[in-house]
Amino acid sequence: MSRLIKLAAAVSVITLAHTAMASAENLKVVASFSIIADFAKNVGGDRVDITTLVGPNGDAHVYEPKPADAAAVAAADVVLVNGLQFEGFLQRLVEASGTKAPVVELTKGGEVLKNAEEEHHHDEASEGEQKHEHEAAEAGHDQHAEEGQEHANEEAHHDHGEFDPHAWQSAHNAEIYVKNIADAFCAADAAGCDTYRANAEAYGQKLEALEAEIKAAVAEIPEDKRVIITSHDAFKYFEHEYGLKFLAPEGVSTESEASAADVAALIKQVKEDRAAAIFVENITNQRLIEQIASETGIKVGGTLYSDALSDEGGQAATYIDMMEHNANTIKGAILGS
Q: Which is nearer to Zn ion, 82 or 199 (CB)?
A: 82
Q: Taking contact as CB under 5 A, which single stretch among the options 27-35, 105-113, 307-315, 323-331 is the one that binds Zn ion?
A: 307-315
Q: Which of 244, 246, 238 is nearest to 224 (CA)?
A: 244
Cβ proximity of 283 and 35 under 8 Å? no
The sign of the dihedral angle between the CA atoms of 75, 77, 80, 85 is positive
Q: Taking contact as CB under 5 A, which single stretch among the options 47-55, 143-151, 262-270, 304-312 is the one that binds Zn ion?
A: 304-312
Q: Is 13 exposed, middle or buried (0-12, 13-18, 19+ CB in 10 A)?
A: exposed
Q: Which of 72, 67, 75, 73 is nearest to 14 (CA)?
A: 75
Q: Which is nearer to Zn ion, 32 or 195 (CB)?
A: 32
**Which of 234, 278, 293, 304 touches Zn ion by CB under 5 A?**
234
Q: Contacts with Zn ion: how many residues (CB under 5 A)?
A: 2
Query: Cβ of residue 127: shortest distance to Zn ion, in angstroms?
Result: 26
Q: Which of 216, 212, 239, 242 is nearest to 228 (CA)?
A: 239
Query: Cβ of residue 143: shortest distance to Zn ion, in angstroms?
Result: 30
Q: Taking contact as CB under 5 A, which single stretch among the options 5-13, 77-85, 267-275, 306-314 is the one that binds Zn ion?
A: 306-314
Query: Cβ of residue 273: shortest distance to Zn ion, in angstroms?
Result: 22
Contacts 24+ apart (CB under 8 A), 290-298: 291/263, 292/229, 292/249, 292/263, 292/266, 292/267, 295/267, 296/267, 296/270, 296/271, 298/229, 298/270
Q: Taking contact as CB under 5 A, which single stretch among the options 14-22, 71-79, 211-219, 302-310 is the one that binds Zn ion?
A: 302-310
| 307 sits near Zn ion (criterion: CB under 5 A) | yes
The answer for residues whose C-beta is within 8 angstroms of residue 116's C-beta and 6 or more apart is 164, 233, 236, 252
Q: Taking contact as CB under 5 A, which single stretch among the options 13-21, 91-99, 206-214, 301-309 is the one that binds Zn ion?
A: 301-309
Q: What are phi and psi of 51, to 5 degrees?
A: -110, 130
Q: Which is nearer to Zn ion, 234 or 327 (CB)?
A: 234
Q: Which is nearer to Zn ion, 60 or 292 (CB)?
A: 60
Query: Cβ of residue 252: shortest distance to Zn ion, in angstroms?
Result: 6
What does the per-residue mask of binding to Zn ion show for 190-229, with x meaning CB under 5 A? ----------------------------------------
| 322 sits near Zn ion (criterion: CB under 5 A) | no
Query: Cβ of residue 254: shortest distance to Zn ion, in angstroms?
Result: 6
Q: Which of 309, 304, 307, 312 is nearest to 329 (CA)?
A: 304
H/E run at residue 32: strand 27-33
| 175 sits near Zn ion (criterion: CB under 5 A) | no
| 79 sits near Zn ion (criterion: CB under 5 A) | no
Residues lying near Zn ion in the complex (CB under 5 A) are found at 234, 307
